[in-house]
């Protein structure tokens, strides 16, 4: 991963397990199939990240 970042001159970001991403997907996406869905506000988004262990400056949304 460090080599990939170096070759593209990008800073290393956040490394997340597939299981964390899967759990985040389950709170993030399915509601879009219901008419009453609305985009999460910053506080709700932050809570969704934190619910799967995504914390720290990288995951701060506002």
The yes or no reply on residue 52 touching other proteins (CB under 8 A) is: no
Contact pattern from residue 9 through residue 28 relative to other proteins, giving x for each residue in contact according to CB under 8 A and a dash for the rest: -xxxxxxxxxx-xx-xxx-x
The yes or no reply on residue 59 touching other proteins (CB under 8 A) is: yes
For residue 29, the SS3 value is coil
For Cα atoms 45, 12, 40, give the angle at the middle one, nearest 5 degrees.
10
- Find the helix or strand (DSSP H, E) in which 9 lies: none
Binding site for other proteins (CB under 8 A): 1, 3-4, 10-19, 21-22, 24-26, 28-30, 32-37, 39, 45, 49, 57-62
């Amino acid at each position: 991963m460090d080599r990939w970042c170096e070759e593209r001159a990008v800073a290393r970001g956040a490394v997340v397990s597939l299981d964390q991403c899967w759990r985040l997907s389950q709170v993030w996406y399915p509601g879009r199939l219901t008419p009453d869905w609305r985009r999460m506000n910053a506080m709700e988004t932050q809570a969704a990240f934190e619910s799967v262990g995504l914390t720290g400056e990288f995951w701060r949304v506002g």
